[in-house]
Amino acid sequence: MGSLQKTAACLLFLSIFSSASHGQLATFICSDVKTEYNKTATISCISSKKITNVFVKRCENCNKQTSCLESVINTWAGKNSSEEGRIRLVLQHNVSEVHIQEVKATDEGGYKWHLHSEAGERDGCTTLEITAPETEPNLTRNGTKLTCLSPLGHRQREIHWFDGHGTNLTGSASLVSEEAEGGLTSLTSTLHEKSNLTASEYCCTVLYDVHTKRNKTKCLSAHKAVADYLHFTSTTDPESPKTMKEHVATILVLLFLVLCSFAAVLYYKYRQRDERAQENVLNQEV
């Protein structure tokens, strides 16, 4: 009887240990996601067994627990979507997917999840990265004021100024940041040309990633800037490129007429000399 009790106790212990081990060996795979701005992002997690409950919380940073704010998905509370369905859960057997439609810059960051399956449960955090549009900067000049506009992009991007020799002029510029659509920002940097700050060329560089140095640059020649400004206004400057062409054409015509007159004079003199020579020959013959 004692041996039977020992055997039953061993079987019960093995059963409990097996169940605990089975729960600890539950596997979940969740990967980071990178999506373009205004597209649909899908954060997916795969389990070795059927997933029964999902809890997802928004965090600014996965490494900072205090940065986690609101829960977007909580099946225990019957919350399978949020923001009027823009963020929703698609749960199919062992695959859990959180779809975020028309992603905004404010959606970027960490998503802390707690998954519960038939094989156990686990916590984790994935990162969603949003790639904002990288448009070329708009560089204009009005007198001594140069303006560089980067209409849409992340808050982290920067605007730098350089002259034609690569000298950094950013310290002499002023920057204004304005909120744009979808959590993006609009940056406007203004550089005023001073007596000690003159160059033949000015370049505006929008730096999108500090680590990879990914950027877009646009340059403007000081001389070309003046020509463009005159071209796009209604002023009739006599020294504009079009008037100069007319002056050149007039000079060429006058030069041609002078040459023709000179040739006519030479021809007339040559003709007179020839006629006099013929008259002398006739007189000698007589």
**What is the spatial distance between Cα 90 and Cα 199, in angstroms, rounded to a whole number?**
58
What is the chain's pLDDT, residue by residue, as a tens digit (286 residues)?
455 444 444 443 344 334 444 445 568 888 899 999 999 999 999 998 899 999 999 988 877 777 788 899 999 999 999 999 999 999 999 999 999 999 998 899 999 999 998 888 888 899 999 988 888 899 998 888 999 999 888 888 999 999 888 899 999 999 999 988 788 899 999 998 876 656 788 999 999 888 888 899 999 886 654 333 332 223 333 333 344 555 667 777 787 787 877 777 777 777 777 777 666 666 665 5
Provide the 3-class DSSP secondary structure of residue 200: coil
**What is the spatial distance between Cα 161 and Cα 155, in angstroms, rounded to a whole number?**
18
**What is the spatial distance between Cα 268 and Cα 265, in angstroms, rounded to a whole number?**
5
Q: What is the dihedral of CA 243, 247, 252, 254, to 10 degrees?
A: 140
**What is the spatial distance between Cα 253 and Cα 262, in angstroms, rounded to a whole number?**
14
Domains of the chain plus CATH, in order, are 24-131 (2.60.40.10), 138-231 (2.60.40.10)
* Length of the chain in terms of residues written: 286
